[in-house]
Chains A and B, each alone.
Chain A
Amino acid sequence: MKTDDEERLRRELRATTAVNRQLLAQSGGGNGNGKGSGRASTTAGGAGVPAAPRIRREGVARTWLTALAELDVSERPFLVRPPKGPVTLVEGGTARPVTSSLLVATLERTFGEPRPVSDAELAKWSDGVPVEVLEGPRGAPFIIVAGTRHKLRGLPVPYPVSTSDAEMFPSGPVLNVARSNVSRLRYRRAMKGSEQRRWLADQFRAKSPRQLLSALIRRLGR
């Protein structure tokens, strides 16, 4: 026989989890359909509840995600370098262009250096979703590779502003963040060395000179 308290706790659990579902739907998440879970007055952006800011380019990313979810990720992806165009990640029979050289350098560490391929060879794979940085309502930006979400560390996170606000300032020359990074040659040389040199390369890429010095002292101390 259920006690009153037990029954009340059950009701509370139901109400709390239903509200959770409603809140998730309002934040644009979840892949249930949200049926029957919301008060009419508290749907996303409806009366009484401030609408959450829309994620930039959300619509574009959603189509990518749908395509990525259907990819066969059983085989390990690899990078290729076609004669023209960006380095490409081959995954699930599709060719995914990686336009950011920062991302290329990052992906090389996991999937190896890009293998040169001819246009004919590239044409064997169907056009895939580009490897782009995605960002959810919470947490770090990420990329999706091999059916997995990989958080990105070390990437400056943009703060969204409206177009009109941005256009208060005239457009200046492009600053290439990727070029500001360590040169590919220096990185490759460092990577050819021992584990110690690899570690040094990591430190060199990730830290300021002062931080690098501190890290070295700490490592030598160990």
Chain B
Amino acid sequence: MVVGVVSVVVPVFRGVDDVRRCVGSLMAHAGPVEGVGSVEVVVVDDCSPEPEVSALCDEVAAGSWPWPVRLLRNSENLGFVATVNRAIDATSGDVVILNSDTQVTAGWLQRMVDAASAPGVATVTPLTNFGSLCTIPPVVSDAFGLFGDDPQTDACAAFVARHSLRRRPEVISGVGFCMYITRDALDLVGSFDTETFGMGYGEEVDFCLRATRVGFTHVVEDATFVYHAGGGSFGNERNERMKRGSSLLHDRYRFFRAANTAERSADPLRIPFKALELGLHERDESRPHVLHVLHSAPDALGGTEKHLRELMESMADTHDFSILCPVESGYVLRTLWHHPDRPDPTEIEFLLPGGPRRVTKIIDEVAASALRCALDMFHFDAVHLQNLIGHSLAPLDVLSDFDGPVVCSVRDLYLACPHHWLLWRNEQACGIPDDLSVCADCLPVTRQLSIEYLEEFRTTVAAHLDTIDAWVFASQSAEDYLRRVYDLPPERVHHIPHGAIINPHQPTRTLDVHHIYNEPLRLAFIGLGWTKKGLDVANHLAEHFAGTPIEIHHYGTLKQPASPHLHTHGPYDNTLLPHLLHTTGIHIALLPGPYAETFGHVMTEATIAGLPTIAATYGALGERIRTQACGWTIDPHDPTTTATLIEHLDHCREELHRATHNATHHPITTISHTRDRYAALYQPTAAPKEHEG
């Protein structure tokens, strides 16, 4: 549809500088507008008391501009509303009522015309920095200094145009600072109500509500920004006039206050404005972006979360990260981006589809859609599966057609068995038996799952092994366990021991011979106090050694009852653990859990404290004890033999001395040592993957 003439009406009363800037911006951005026959500017001098304003009006009218300027001059001051009406009466096409303290920006009129050309539109209002519902978020105004001495108006307009969602939301009423009104609406509804709203404030709402009554709509052109100095139109009388206007509207439209409140609450611009806010935190696309799939909130206290936080921190100078994790209401995607122009990392959270539920399906559709949604939202160069619990196996399926590398860290053996503790009936280590009848006795009890579920679960993993480009194991034993179930391609297997998640350079890491030989033997059971971690063994030992010089201590939260002979110290801070152990005079870390660890951060912390370790002969702890010769391995199901070992160590301090020496001298790998290996895994794969179908 082609509109004949569009008249930009600028009522002028005071503020010569504002008027100059307004007209200047109009002419700076004047040009052909598609769909419009011609554009004119109508300046109406409302008998300004400031001679310089009238002089400027004359100057503008006499000038040669891309858009012709027509000057109307009131012989007496009529006020804003009557002045606008006079201009409307003097024009024949659509009009834009533009306050004289505004500044328009590039492409503004074209987009306003486009928005107004939709059927049934009465008014179009752009976004601004001062304009009721159309006011952009303060963080955006601040970013462009819109309330400072040098507002970056054009830059802000370009930003808004770039980040707009172009939704053109419908609102109850336009806002008067810059309102495009179609001639159709004017013809049907008439112009502003001078008699009632002649003092200003409320006239545009009244007009819009009258237009709505006859079927017109009002939209916000959310890709257009027009600067509005604001508040100057009526000086100090502004508040009084606003109150009066509001009261008049309430008298005339009893529904309006409630509707207005509801609109403010629902906020039709909430999502467009959020898009603008997010636009301020754009990622530096030159940095690789890695998505971590995690089983819990990244702030949680588990070893995986701590390790991941440290890993991301150590790679912050080169990589951006996002984390997808399940929460009680769905899935949260949290960003951790660094930008050279911003001092702090950008941490934003997005709530992806989901709901309060327990993921029990092997491939959970909701988990799959959450991951797909995350992949749709941002470009990721690589995906790192840290832990799939809470996601089901859906990520393996979704990522089968992901173009970048998919890295899977085997932090527990969930992929081998949904009961990833690998404790048969929560009693003893199962070691992933070949005989599934053993599992048939366990899974229904421990996870309420059938053996058929396990078989289908493993079949699904096996079918998706190709999805994973790199399998990362922190220990050989973890790889050996997984290989009991799956035939992993050797070329895709990588061994990267977890680095220490606390500072490895601790003053406590010294060989104190006097302490080793002359103090009562003290052992520290460290970690969550429950069966999985070996509380039963610790309790047994505490009872066994009650009344002897051998002491069993516990550091951590107790989940199950502890023996009264166990010296309990309560929860601890990892970073302070070496100091705590040193202060208590601990000689040995006791990690007697039947659970087969895949690495064991606590053992690293004990080694940093300069302590040898007693732990299960199987799993990563046993492997590390044998490799580093800094401890002794036990059968967690045989506490009597463990007690004998401890008695032996109590009597043979030479042996304790040897192991302590090895622990204090064993080099500690830090996470920063491993960062280059992870960075290499995040590199694009050499050949693009062949996708099925």
A positions within 8 Å CB-CB of B: 8, 10-22, 24, 29-37, 39-41, 48-50, 70-72, 74-75, 92-93, 124-126, 148-149
Contacts and interface: CB of A to CB of B under 8 A. Distances in A.
B278 A15 contact: yes
Nearest to A139: B356
A124 B562 CA distance: 11
B559 A29 contact: no
18 contacts: A10-B377, A12-B165, A12-B275, A14-B350, A15-B271, A15-B278, A17-B373, A17-B377, A18-B277, A30-B327, A36-B281, A37-B348, A39-B137, A41-B137, A48-B264, A50-B265, A74-B447, A149-B356
Contacts of B349: 18, 21, 32-37
Interface stretch (B73-81, B328-336, B456-464, B488-496): B328-336
Pairs A-B, 6 closest by C-beta atoms: A17-B350, A15-B275, A21-B351, A20-B351, A15-B274, A35-B347
A32 B275 contact: no
B559 A72 contact: yes
A32 B332 contact: yes
Contact of B165 (A11, A18, A24, A50): A11
Contacts of A12: 165, 167, 271, 275
Residue with the highest number of chain A CB atoms closer than 10 Å, among B270, B350, B532: B350
Contacts of A24: 329, 351
Q: Chain B interface: which size bin? A: 35 or more
B218 interface: no
B358 A19 contact: no
B270 A29 contact: no
A17 B271 CA distance: 9
Nearest to B273: A39
Residue with the highest number of chain B CB atoms closer than 10 Å, among A15, A18, A40, A50: A15
A18 B348 contact: yes
A13 B334 contact: no
Nearest to A35: B347
Nearest to A76: B445
B165 A15 contact: yes
Contact of B346 (A36, A49, A124, A149): A36
A98 B539 CA distance: 30
Contact of A39 (B277, B332, B373, B378): B277
Contacts of B273: 39
B352 A17 contact: yes
Given A32-B327, A32-B349, A72-B559, A19 B274 contact: yes
Contact of A148 (B277, B358, B378): B358
A49 to B, nearest CB: 7
Given A36-B346, A39-B137, A74-B426, A14 B377 contact: yes
Given A32-B297, A36-B281, A93-B561, A18 B265 contact: no
Given A11-B278, A17-B377, A19-B271, 12 more contacts: A12-B167, A12-B271, A16-B274, A18-B348, A21-B350, A29-B329, A30-B328, A30-B351, A32-B334, A36-B348, A39-B277, A149-B356
B166 A30 contact: no
Nearest to B562: A126
Contacts, number: 126
A220 B194 CA distance: 76
A35 B334 contact: yes
Contact of A93 (B279, B352, B447, B560): B560
Contacts of B32: none
Nearest to B276: A15
A39 B401 CA distance: 36
B139 interface: yes
B270 A19 contact: yes
B487 interface: no
Interface in B139-155: 139
B328 A14 contact: no
B28 to A, nearest CB: 26
Contacts of B426: 74-75
A21 B349 CA distance: 7
A53 to B, nearest CB: 15
A31 B265 contact: no
Contact of B347 (A14, A36, A49): A36
B148 to A, nearest CB: 18
Contacts of A40: 138-139
Contact of A30 (B138, B275, B332): B332
B435 interface: no
A58 to B, nearest CB: 15
Contacts of A10: 376-378
Interface string B546-586: 00000000000101110000000000000000000000000
A18 B559 contact: no
Given A32-B327, A35-B334, A20 B350 contact: yes
B622 interface: no
A17 B351 contact: yes
Interface in B503-562: 530-532, 557, 559-561
Nearest to A50: B265
B559 A70 contact: yes
A31 B299 CA distance: 10
Contact of A11 (B163, B559, B561): B163
Nearest to A123: B561
A97 B264 CA distance: 47
